[in-house]
Chains A and B, each alone.
Chain A
Amino acid sequence: MFGYLLKRMIQMSLVLWVVSVIVFLMMSFTGDPVFMVVPIDATDAEIAQARRILGLDQSVLVQYWRFISSLVQGDFGNSYVFRQPALKLILERLPATVEMVLVAMALALVVAIPLGVYAGANPNSRISRIIMAGSLLGISLPGFWVGMVLIFLFAVHWGIFPSSGRGDTVEIFGLRISLLTADGWRHIILPALTLSLATMAILLRMTRAGMMEVGRQDFMKFARAKGATRRDVLYKHGLKNALIPVITIFGLQLGDLIAFATITETIFSWPGMGKLLIDSIYRADRPVIVVYLMLVALIFVVINFLVDIVYTLIDPRIALK
């Protein structure tokens, strides 16, 4: 077990290192950030000075060394736009994104699992066909467009929910949480729903496929034969085994949700780190982009690791190696 953990830690650091190299290379070969810092009418001398301050006059290797050594110390430099530490900017907005992703994931699970179990247990019923067509539609819809339509219907047309922002927040341990206020819930419901649709559809299809696979196996027949109720057969015997592939997808989907949150946050002006990323891309605010990518890479690597651990807990037949 310890050997396994050590091996995974080394692997994870390796992945993060590769990501840091790629991020650095892409950033240094594209565009010149110096023009984001100096005023439009800056003289050549001022530009040269700004370049020196940013360290852009050094060779690529020196720049990478400075980049990676300050990265390891948690110093990502100041945002060119906000003149504040980039890490602080991202971390301030992290709770808003996490909140939305969690609500979206919860929504997806609550809808997808029961419908998937039903469609898997009754593959030929009319309702199952409707569920499956609906899930295929969910995969085929552009998420941002769904968000727009929801804004138009619920915010512009009917005025039931607000169209943008995060609403009232409560501060707990220095984190601003909006899930504890009614206003916060009113604000989160549309973006979270938008974000969850694709994940909902994919989890539903996975659950259904898993249930159909499991349904053919002997232990399901035995469970029925011993007189277990239909509900017990489906949920206790069936679902538990059908969930194994769903867990992997769940991990991947969590990553996808974080990625797609950038788009959802942009539509709903949700003050999370995804919106900050898009704004920073427009403004070529490199330090913020770098922090976002490294943080997200870290999150993904950790999610993948946790998925592998959860795997072994659910299915004892799989051993860590």
Chain B
Amino acid sequence: MTAFFQSEFFYNYRRSSSAMIGSALMASFALAVLVGPFLVSQNPYDIAALDLMDSYKPPFWLEGGDPRFWLGTDGQGRDVWASILYGARISLFIGLVAMVASCAIGTLLGLVAGFYGGLVDSVIMRIADIQLSFPSILIALFLMSAVGTGIDKVLIALTAVGWVVYARTVRGSTLSEIEKEYVQAARVAGLPNSKIIRKHVLPNVLTPLIVIATIQVGTFVLIEASLSFLGVGVPITQPSLGLLIKNGFDVLFSGLWWTSVFPGVAIMMLVFGINLFGDFLRDELNPRLK
């Protein structure tokens, strides 16, 4: 542990204001997602806790605002702040799980493609090429339009668009790793391929994935929000931040801006934090820049 605090990485981290701000934003979101729902008095999805008399209250600093709902309420009298805390849970859950799934599948396919080469490699990489020539949002939109709404389906759609970048990166590094002497030595020692891949190649191709994975969580949160905004993402019973914005958009023209603006600010802060920290990681972990 002390070794970490004395490392160059930690020293640079302390000196980089963007890394500090980024990780502070990420940490506060993690905290809000974990304990937030216990801090708000109202569960926005418990119908008994809602009172229609409280609907469309503006934020507390505006005329007619109610100190109980400091960011205002929506049409059902739901506290916008509480909705954001619950919605951020769903958004972040989807982003993280889809990232882990994409990373696992993409890394596996990349390792297999790079290690074995030949037909397997060609097939995997041609699929990746074709997929990369289309914007991920369009592929996800198309998949969602075919399978319908639901958190599980959003996860599938995001994983389907997310694996490619890992597969490409891992394949590239695998190709250069298997030429190196330690892999040759492992082969000569007669280790089975599966063990060489797991014990020797895998640990050495992981570093570049850290940056990709970090940034991807942010990208996924944004894609999920866009899908939900278009009505093909999460169901109404489990609204993510994107769906909150969509619900707010319907009443925007009546001047009721707070139901849609604040969830958007939440997404922005989350993704901005992730991107700031990801940028720092990219500079730190890229040996070419040092």
Residues of A within 8 A of B (CB): 15, 18-19, 23, 26-27, 29-31, 133, 136-137, 139-145, 148-149, 151-152, 156-157, 163, 252, 255-256, 258-260, 262-263, 266-267, 278, 281-282, 289, 293, 296-297, 300-301, 304
Contact = CB atoms under 8 A, between A and B. Distances in A.
A114 to B, nearest CB: 22
Interface of B: 18, 130, 133-135, 137-138, 141-143, 145-148, 218, 222, 225-226, 229-232, 242, 245, 248-249, 252-253, 255, 257, 260-261, 264, 267-268, 271-272, 274-276, 279
Given A145-B264, A255-B135, A281 B255 contact: no
Contacts of B138: 259, 262, 296
A262 B141 contact: yes
A259 B242 contact: no
Given A141-B268, A142-B225, A148-B264, A289 B252 contact: no
A144 B245 contact: yes
Given A148-B252, A151-B252, A136 B135 contact: no
A142 B146 contact: no
B170 to A, nearest CB: 21
Q: Which 3 A-B pairs have the closest CB atoms?
A: A145-B264, A259-B135, A140-B271
Contacts of A143: 226
A72 B261 CA distance: 46
Given A142-B267, A145-B267, A149-B261, A263 B229 contact: yes
Contacts of A139: 271, 275
26 contacts: A15-B130, A18-B130, A19-B130, A30-B147, A136-B272, A140-B222, A140-B275, A141-B268, A141-B271, A142-B242, A142-B264, A142-B267, A144-B245, A145-B267, A148-B252, A148-B260, A149-B264, A152-B252, A163-B253, A255-B134, A256-B135, A256-B137, A259-B134, A263-B229, A289-B145, A300-B134
Contacts of A278: 230
B137 A148 contact: no
Given A136-B275, A140-B218, A297-B134, A263 B268 contact: no
Contacts of B267: 142, 145
A137 B273 CA distance: 9
Contacts of B226: 142-144, 263
Contacts of B276: 136
Given A15-B130, A139-B275, A26 B225 contact: no
Nearest to B273: A140
Given A137-B268, A142-B226, A142-B264, 7 more contacts: A30-B148, A140-B222, A140-B268, A140-B275, A145-B267, A148-B260, A156-B253
A137 B276 CA distance: 9
A245 to B, nearest CB: 15
B100 to A, nearest CB: 21
A86 B196 CA distance: 54
B135 A142 contact: no
B232 A281 contact: yes
Given A140-B272, A156-B255, A27 B230 contact: no
Nearest to B137: A259
B247 to A, nearest CB: 12
A26 B264 contact: no
Nearest to B249: A148
B142 A293 contact: yes
A297 B131 CA distance: 11
Contacts of B248: 148
Contacts of A282: 231
Contact of A145 (B245, B253, B274): B245
Contacts of B143: 26
Of B143, B248, B268, most buried by chain A (CB within 10 Å of CB) is B268
A30 B146 contact: yes
